[in-house]
Structures are given as structure tokens and as C-alpha cells.
């Protein structure tokens, strides 16, 4: 063997080190890629379960309790006209009013009573900001008429919605923002 064709032991070691470095680089790149995939999977799972409203319809007439307040939907009525004391208000063309007659029983002195109207396609509406002079209040007590813990409190929530969704309502959503559980949807007893 000539000296030029014969490999020196250090050349062989250098090639092994180069292969080892290349393998280590691929291994590190693969591990980094796997960590990114794990992070994306966890983030997508979290975001999917916390950013989109999820609903669970309760049986008709059932109540839902959130933060010590038990909500019951007594009735859900559609109407084109709202009475406001001695006046009436006609719904705008293409819209209709929905009146949710609710009852709460609470252990708290100052409960939160906001609920949302839920329709198909995860559509929701908040109650009308305008208060009407009606037989039932549209709020959960005030200084003159406080909510008494342990006693039922009847009130109404009024929604103005597109008439196209009037036949596609699911009920009233009672959301617990402290829980990842789906929003409970109430329907009146049959």
C-alpha cells in the first residue's frame, strides 16, 4: 500500500466525528420540531376550547346554577310590539323582540343576572340596553327593590333580534366565566 491510499487513523476519526456532528444536528433539529408541534397542539386545544362559545342545552324546564345564583327560564316570547307603560314600541322592519321571563334564587345580596339569547350557529345576543316601563323589572334589584337572598326574584330580559332567527332560537345562555364548561342553555318547561 502506498502512503497516499492508506488512511491515517486520524482521518478515520475525523470522518466519524463529522458523521457524529451531522447526526447530532439532525437529532437536535428533530427534537426542536417535535417541541414546536407539541406546543402548537396544546395551544390549539386550549384556544379551541376557550375562545369559541360552546353550549350545552339543558332539558326543558331545568334550572342552571352559576356562582350561587339559580336561573330558571319561565317563558320565552316573540313579539313585534313592546309595551312601555302607556306607550307601545314597534320592532324595526326585519326585527322582532324576544322577551325572556326569568326567575332567580340567590345566596348573594348583589347577584349578576346578565344572560344571553342563543340561536343556532353559535349566535348570541345581549339584552336590550334600553329599559322599558313594564310590570317586571329588567334588572336584578336596586336600592329601592333589593334582591332578597333565598327568595325568588322575577325579572325580564328583552332582546331585539333579526326576524330571520326568530324560529331558530335555542334558549337563554347562562355563562360561568370562571369555568371552562360549556354555557348552559335554558328552555322553558313545555
The CA distance from 39 to 19, in Å, is 30
Residue span of the structural domain in which 2 resides = 1-52
Cα-based distances in Å from 15 to 8, 12, 28, 52:
11, 5, 20, 55
* 110 has pLDDT over 70: yes
Q: Assess whether 68 and 84 both reside in one domain.
A: yes
Last residue of a domain, one of 52, 69, 88: 52
The CA distance from 27 to 105, in Å, is 61
Average pLDDT over residues 29-34: 94
Question: For position 80, which CATH number holds?
Answer: 2.60.40.1240
Q: Assess whether 90 and 31 both reside in one domain.
A: no
- C-alpha cell read off for 34: 417535535
More confident residue, 32 or 146: 32
Q: Assess whether 149 and 101 both reside in one domain.
A: yes
User: Helices then strands (H, E): number in the chain?
Assistant: 1, 11
* 2 has pLDDT over 70: no
* 150 has pLDDT over 80: yes
pLDDT in tens, 50-65: 666 678 899 999 999 9
The total number of structural domains in the chain stands at 2
pTM equals 0.69
In degrees, rounded to 5, the angle at the alpha carbon of residue 185 between the alpha carbons of residues 180 and 190 is: 155
The CA distance from 172 to 72, in Å, is 10
Question: What is the SS3 string spanning 35-65?
Answer: HHHHHHHHHHHHHHHHCCCCEEECCCCCCEE
Amino acid at each position: 500500500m502506498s502512503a497516499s491510499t492508506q488512511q491515517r487513523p486520524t482521518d478515520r476519526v475525523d470522518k466519524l466525528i463529522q458523521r457524529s456532528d451531522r447526526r447530532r444536528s439532525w437529532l437536535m433539529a428533530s427534537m426542536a420540531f417535535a417541541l414546536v408541534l407539541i406546543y402548537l397542539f396544546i395551544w390549539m386545544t386550549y384556544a379551541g376550547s376557550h375562545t369559541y362559545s360552546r353550549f350545552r342545552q339543558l332539558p326543558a324546564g331545568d334550572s342552571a346554577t352559576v356562582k350561587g345564583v339559580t336561573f330558571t327560564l319561565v317563558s320565552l316570547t316573540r313579539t313585534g310590539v313592546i309595551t312601555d307603560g302607556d306607550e307601545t314600541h314597534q320592532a324595526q322592519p326585519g326585527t322582532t323582540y324576544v322577551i325572556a321571563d326569568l326567575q332567580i334564587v340567590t345566596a348573594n345580596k348583589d347577584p349578576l343576572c346578565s344572560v344571553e339569547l342563543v340561536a343556532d350557529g353559535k349566535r348570541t345576543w345581549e339584552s336590550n340596553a334600553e329599559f322599558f316601563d313594564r310590570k317586571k323589572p329588567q334588572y336584578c334589584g336596586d336600592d329601592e327593590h333589593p334582591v332578597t337572598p333565598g327568595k325568588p326574584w322575577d325579572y325580564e330580559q328583552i332582546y331585539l333580534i333579526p326576524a330571520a332567527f326568530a324560529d331558530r332560537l335555542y334558549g337563554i345562555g347562562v355563562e360561568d366565566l370562571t369555568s371552562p364548561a360549556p354555557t348552559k342553555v335554558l328552555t322553558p318547561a313545555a
